[in-house]
A and B are shown apart, each in its own frame.
Chain A
Amino acid sequence: MSAPLEELTARESVPLVPVRSQPAARAPIGRQLAIAMAILAGLLIPLRATSFVTFELTQVMIYALAILGLNLLIGFNGQFSLGHSAFYGIGAYTAAILMSRWEVPYYLTLPAAGGVCFAVGFLFGLPALRLQGLYLALATFALAIAMPQILKFHPFEDFTGGVQGLVIDKPDPPFGLPIDADQWLSYFTLAVLLVLLAGASRLIRSRTGRAIMAIRDNPIAAAAMGINTALYKTLTFGVSALYTGVAGALGAIVVQFVAPDSFNFLLSVSFLVGLVIGGVGSIPGCLFGGLFVLFVPNIAESISIGLAGAIYGVILLIVIFVMPSGAAGFVRLTLARLAALRRPRPNTQLNPKP
């Protein structure tokens, strides 16, 4: 009963996404237009829509940010994690504890959450270096399982509020701006998301980013070329945790409540689903992922409350069948096909008729 472990290792070296050529130095016009439109939507929707829709928009952005964190690790660095719910939870609790116990203003909790999660992620990345594939999956999974237990742990109850959780007050818009709290939080989240998206984009296009992706594509070759794989892998773990942790802090502020059992491994699973649906290895794909994770369960429920889970599963399967590389991959493929149609076909006849 020998192992196809070499099979596993061989597969591990096959990239999770098709290897892309060097990202263009300047984004093409279409892409810039799409980005502008997305930002415009983010600015206008809170002004025109109801509070509730604004709230949902904010949640989509928060999930997108969390998924982006996971993407940095899985999509760009080829590692694996089922434990990002733990980082999300750490970020959320950091914000909640700082705000409720020490009255720290909400915007300072974000860097704090990011810092704490970076440290935890980095430290976790160290032992993770030794593990591959499913073994790494188990280790991260252990983290996801441990988090609610630790949060509920009796001696920590004074800090964490134990099983009852912590309630946070909603922050008011600053400088007396004529918008309500929901709109302000939406813009705040949008700003944070844009900054972090830009950061991720620049990171990927930099030398560090190329090193990170090289490790994903062929770790042995990368090491042979002199890349300090251990350092980059642990750094990526840290940065990935940071992103998801900041998302968690935002989530706590927007929902105004944290409780231990919300941060269980099912949340990790939904991040993973959002990642794949959005497109592994695609930075803007995280927005699709966020939309999917928030809205599709609601859609499934509206079709049939008794079989909501089954319908969700079916929708998931359909999406995977139609878009195996996620939404971003689908968009890329469609654009490529459209471009191919427009391009003049090369003359393939050997003996063109005169």
Chain B
Amino acid sequence: MLRVMSRRGDDRVTWDMQRVQASDPEAIAAVREAERIFAQERAKGATAFRIDPGKPPQRIDQFDETSEQIVMVPRVVGG
């Protein structure tokens, strides 16, 4: 799942890896859409974190469809 923080809460794109591996067109389209959003948000300065249960979050620069959950936070500045 890709979760992108915004003023609306977080926008989500989900996909099923088993269906992706089975070449399901809908699942593949969802992954491509998530990848596109990931690239778009990164270009705007967002930071992405891979979240795996029981592990500390990990910053990532490349989209990884095998991640259970990716959370993107907008660019931050000192206040």
A complexed with B? no
